[in-house]
Structure 1
Amino acid sequence: MDDRFSGAHIVKKANVYHNGQCTSRTVITAEGEMKTLGIILPGVYRFSTAAPEQMQILAGRGRYKLADDTEWHEIQTGDTFHVPENASFDIEVTELLDYTCSYGQCGGSGIPV
């Protein structure tokens, strides 16, 4: 896993959700892809998507459930999961989650890969 975005542009303004419990910064890669780098503090949160998202867990632990799922899926450092466009998901963070999210280039069932 590469730990850098070479030639990227960073949007200065933070994305802040859930009263500051979740924050991220937008990164535009040299290839024009939009990504975010973020931190989620322990707790349970709901997010909605407009575009498909691929969440890559850089550090931490928790679990997530897509809106149509009946079961939670465990996630930890090194895992990746997909969220379809125009969907929502719940995430329960048990150990501070450091993540990167890629937009519009995802597919799959939402199950970690």
Structure 2
Amino acid sequence: MTDGENQGGVVNIKEATPDIPGWLKTGDLIQIGNHMHLLTRDADTDSSGKASLRVTPYLRQMPRAGTTVITAGCACLMQLEASQNLPRRVDTGRRYLASMTLNFVEKIG
């Protein structure tokens, strides 16, 4: 859970397992609300279970102290890019799918 002030690319957390070097690793994902962030540095917890998580992209909104930070099974809200259409073939009047490639962007807001 978040702890106190968070600034852009740093998320301060508390209540993690104490005294764990490399508790989270560079490249791990975290989720805050509907947003996913990638760790840019390893994060160690101190003796009280606090850590500073350096993330990208930067936080768009500063979470309140006590906001849950998910460290496993992360997800975020996505939508199709505006220019994307689902592929379809209409020989028989029914849609069916042979293969497709879709591009998604994170839904913000």
**TM-score bin, normalised by smaller chain:** under 0.3
* TM-score scaled by length of structure 1: 0.27
* TM-score scaled by length of structure 2: 0.28
For the pair shown, the structure with the greater C-alpha radius of gyration is 2
Which has a greater percent of strand? Answer: 1
